[in-house]
Amino acid sequence: MKSPEQERREVITRLTEAADILSESMDVRFVPSSGANIAYAIKGARDGRDVAAVPGGLQVDGGRIHRSGTCAFDSGEEIVRTVLTVMKFDPAMRSAAVIAYRKEFLDVLADMFIECREVDHTRSAPGTSAIDWGIAASCSDGVPEVIYDKGIKEEHGMIYCIGEDAVKVANNIIILSHRIQ
């Protein structure tokens, strides 16, 4: 059995590997203006102290993607809440990444037979963050591999890629990236 410290080190190692994969190989069109990000939680995560992310996310600078910071727990990044929400429905799904929304990305995901669910803003609960509620509502019948939010007039939309491991999530994004024309 792994010690808590060992598990935390392994999460940081895998998350760093995933962030590096995305930085090196992801198409820059996948990075929203607010930045892309990826997070990974320890088993049984209960709050942000148990989920690591890239502080400041992944940004585009000079046509290249780079990490804004070193992967860390309790980073305060929004993607952390996504992971925690998803884990309430399936504790094995410990990683999530956020990339830009584009309809062409969804078309390719459909061709890849990836289950995608849209956030339905018409039913959001008062007093709850719209995206937190949307992620939870999208997971109520099982956790899909992709949850998307078109945003306002399809601007500032986001795609949330979900999986058991940060490197697997990153690799799925790279496969998608390579299939985009």
Task: Supply the pTM of this predicted model.
Answer: 0.93
The stretches in the chain having pLDDT less than 50 are none
Domains and CATH numbers, the chain: 4-179 (3.40.225.10)
pLDDT digits (tens, 9 = 90+) for 41-71: 999 999 999 999 999 999 999 999 999 999 9
Q: Which residues contact 132 (CB under 8 A, 6 or more apart)?
A: 81, 82, 85
| pLDDT (0 to 100) of residue 4 | 84
pLDDT recorded at residue 121 = 67
